[in-house]
Structure 1
């Protein structure tokens, strides 16, 4: 697909959403989930920064960021335990 077609589709979708109005709840939910995933990635970054001294490294990807973002500190601890003892 050429870039011109992609830009035209995205522009049309934006104009349609501006004209019709957006449903607030789904967009708010998607924003909250995205924010939690970013916070989870930040948790994992700090875990890798401080855990590197002890040989602990948990990869930062969508799955681990989602787990640590949704579950919080217990999720990060669970990922660290899985990384140390299981993998």
Structure 2
């Protein structure tokens, strides 16, 4: 009887450790995702700023706001092309 109790305790500890690991993983993943969004938004804003500086001579201007910065940050060059096309459509 003591042997089965010891196995139950060991199994309970293993399940508890797994749940603790899973909870820690759930808390770390959103931080990485949020940090990635922030970094991509900053990079997108910088790219848009450079495009606005270089595009002054040809009349190209894209407003820099959180939406356009995230589109440029996530999609990269295709996102910037999309924003330029949307600028001329709207």
Per the alignment, residue 41 of structure 1 pairs with 45
Q: Distance in 2 between matches of 1:52 and 1:70?
A: 24
Per the alignment, residue 55 of structure 1 pairs with 59
Q: Distance in 2 between matches of 1:34 and 1:57?
A: 23
Q: Which runs of 5+ in 2 are unaligned?
A: 1-23
Q: Distance in 2 between matches of 1:34 and 1:54?
A: 30
Once the two structures are superposed, residues 11-65 of structure 1 have per-residue CA deviations (whole angstroms, 9 ceiling, x without a partner) of: xxxxxxxxxx892111111001110011110110011011111001000001111
TM-score by length of 1: 0.69
Q: Which runs of 5+ in 1 are unaligned?
A: 1-20
**Alignment length, in residue pairs?**
66
Extract structure 1 runs of 4+ deviating beyond 3 A: none
Structure with more of its chain in helix, by fraction? 2
Q: CA RMSD in A?
A: 1.6
